[in-house]
Structure 1
Amino acid sequence: EAVTADAMVVKGSYRALAKEIGAEVDSGGALKHIQDCIERLWKVSIIAQNGRKRQGFRLLSEYASDEADGRLYVALNPLIAQAVMGGGQHVRISMDEVRALDSETARLLHQRLCGWIDPGKTGKASIDTLCGYVWPSEASGSTMRKRRQRVREALPELVALGWTVTEFAAGKYDITRPKAAG
């Protein structure tokens, strides 16, 4: 199965990856730390059992780097990629948008909404549904009121990115994702 499946691949450099994750780009220590992390991921093996059948595979199907030019190539195991992406579906999340968001609440909402609402499309959600995207655990009373307030405070951050958020009834929203650029 995995031999014929597509893998998720990241091509780039340690420096580009460091910049993307907010690490110090000019620090050799940070780049070495990233390399060590990727190599630890390479060592992760998974054994899946279904009844009497067992199957083993690595988390990463392929890893290569070149210290001379800093190039990096990492491929996620196709079976893991398929499980993560839901059988061939994919989600595009603009890292420029993510970096423009100030609050953790806004970043988590953005990630979840990007997975649900296609570019140029609209979805409807209640404030409690949006809270559930950020905090999956149940809450009541003052905790839930604080969560609702934090979500309400995060929505203008999405609007600043070009999303449209309209409260059409108390605590119920139409949320439109901007069309993809290009």
Structure 2
Amino acid sequence: MAQSKLSPAARREMDARHGVARQDMALGLSGLVKPAVRLKKGQKRGFIENLRQSWNGGEIILNGPEIDAQDLGVLLACAALALRDADRHADLKQSVDIEGLLATSPKNQPNAAADKDAFTLETTLAALCREIGRDPEDGRAHQMIRDSLVRLSSIVTTATSGARGAFTHLIAGGAWEGRNAVSVTLNYRLTRAMLGEGSFGRVRMQVFRNLSPVGQVLYHWLACWRPGYGTCPPIGLGTLARHVWGEDAKGATARERRQQLRKALAELPTDEWSVGIDRQLVHIERKNIDSGPEPVFLTTPTRVPDYASPSENRGRIKLPHEMGERGPLAASRRGL
């Protein structure tokens, strides 16, 4: 049976069985994550300020501490574990009822996220370690996860559509010293992605944990750019680097990043990804290694020119999720 004909619950079960983490597509495309954040002794992490991603006629705005591939791994591990527990719908609560999840809205503006459902994951540090490929008994890995959860819970996501705004933290909760237990609530966008009620990219944790940091961020971005299967628009190495590092670079830094990208592209599993590089132009195809294409809900106005210049994409290839809304929940999930 084709996957597109399965019920949402059956698709969740299939993805859970394959160790998939579902990432909100807008967050995945935003350039929020860097491969690494290198700090000198005594130096504090930088702050992401008003990082914007156009989405579904509105905009996603992100603010918070810089996060890297390790932090991303922890977030995806939470998403993967939540998917395996996704059908405990009785545990869905409105965001307003979750301590620390809603963010302060400006000028007392109504917070459209207040009545949206959020999912709380109850798990352990050991389980998160296994998802990211670390020793479940490694105390340093436990501390890394605690630190990552603090950073992730400090990120504020603002979704705007017209005059409406939804203001939440990315997650709420975390892990505490001296305890193995973890309680993490995914914000409503991550919850929708996990349940299959919003657009999402599918990241296989078995693949993710075996990649380098650059490869992890690249794979995560590609999984959200190409959530289904087939040929991607051609994309320049420099353009791809901008999405992986979240910024432009020049000179030696740009050359080094292009070289790192070539290595990272070579890391992608060939059973799922076909990659060809013609000078500075990358041709990518995502192969269908499941029983059928995963339907994509909602459309994004983030069009091909944002990824590749006209000279790179002479055929003006558009990805399926850029062509219009698909799926039974599309009409009811517009905007925020």
Q: Which amino acid in structure 1 is aligned with residue 288 of structure 2?
A: K
Residue from 139, 150, 165 that aligns with 2:275: 165
Equivalent residue number for residue 24 of structure 1: 135
Q: Aligned pair count? A: 169
Gaps of 5+ in 2: 1-111, 292-336
Q: Is the 8 A contact 1:45 1:59 kept in 2?
A: yes
Residue from 198, 218, 225 that aligns with 1:109: 218
Structure 1 position 39, deviation (Å): 8.6
The structure number with the bigger radius of gyration is 1
CA 1:180–1:8: 2 relative to 1, 3 Å:
farther
Residue from 203, 219, 222 that aligns with 1:93: 203
Percent of pairs identical after alignment?
27
Q: Structure 2: how far apart are the matches of 1:39 and 1:118?
A: 26
Structure 1 position 106, deviation (Å): 1.5
Please provide the CA RMSD for this pair: 4.2
CA 1:119–1:12: 2 relative to 1, 3 Å:
farther
Structure 1 position 61, deviation (Å): 5.9
Q: Structure 2: how far apart are the matches of 1:19 and 1:128?
A: 34
Residue from 103, 120, 134 that aligns with 2:229: 120
Q: Is the 8 A contact 1:105 1:154 kept in 2?
A: yes
Q: Is the 8 A contact 1:120 1:178 kept in 2?
A: yes
CA 1:142–1:164: 2 relative to 1, 3 Å:
same
Equivalent residue number for residue 243 of structure 2: 133
TM-score by length of structure 2 reads 0.39
CA 1:44–1:35: 2 relative to 1, 3 Å:
same
Q: Structure 2: how far apart are the matches of 1:93 and 1:159?
A: 12
Gaps of 5+ in 1: 65-69
Q: Is the 8 A contact 1:164 1:176 kept in 2?
A: yes
- For the residue of structure 1 that corresponds to 2:184, the secondary structure is strand
CA 1:137–1:55: 2 relative to 1, 3 Å:
closer
Q: Which amino acid in structure 1 is aligned with residue 201 of structure 2?
A: V
CA 1:130–1:8: 2 relative to 1, 3 Å:
farther
Q: Which amino acid in structure 2 is aligned with residue 151 of structure 1?
A: L
Equivalent residue number for residue 67 of structure 1: none
Q: Which amino acid in structure 2 is aligned with residue 76 of structure 1?
A: L
- For the residue of structure 2 that corresponds to 1:92, the secondary structure is strand
Structure 1 position 164, deviation (Å): 0.4
| Larger RCO (CA within 8 A; separation ≥ 6) | 2
Q: Is the 8 A contact 2:133 2:209 kept in 1?
A: no
TM-score by length of structure 1 reads 0.66
Q: Structure 2: how far apart are the matches of 1:137 and 1:44?
A: 22
Structure 1 position 30, deviation (Å): 6.0
1:1-182 paired onto structure 2 within 5 Å: 1-2=112-113, 4-27=115-138, 29=139, 33=143, 60=171, 73-78=183-188, 88-101=198-211, 103-123=212-232, 124-160=234-270, 162-167=272-277, 169-182=278-291
Q: Structure 1: how far apart are the matches of 2:124 and 2:260?
A: 36
Which stretch shifts more, 8-17 or 110-119? Answer: 8-17
Q: Is the 8 A contact 2:146 2:174 kept in 1?
A: no
- For the residue of structure 1 that corresponds to 2:131, the secondary structure is helix
Q: Structure 1: how far apart are the matches of 2:219 and 2:186?
A: 24
- For the residue of structure 1 that corresponds to 2:276, the secondary structure is strand
Q: Which amino acid in structure 1 is aligned with residue 284 of structure 2?
A: I
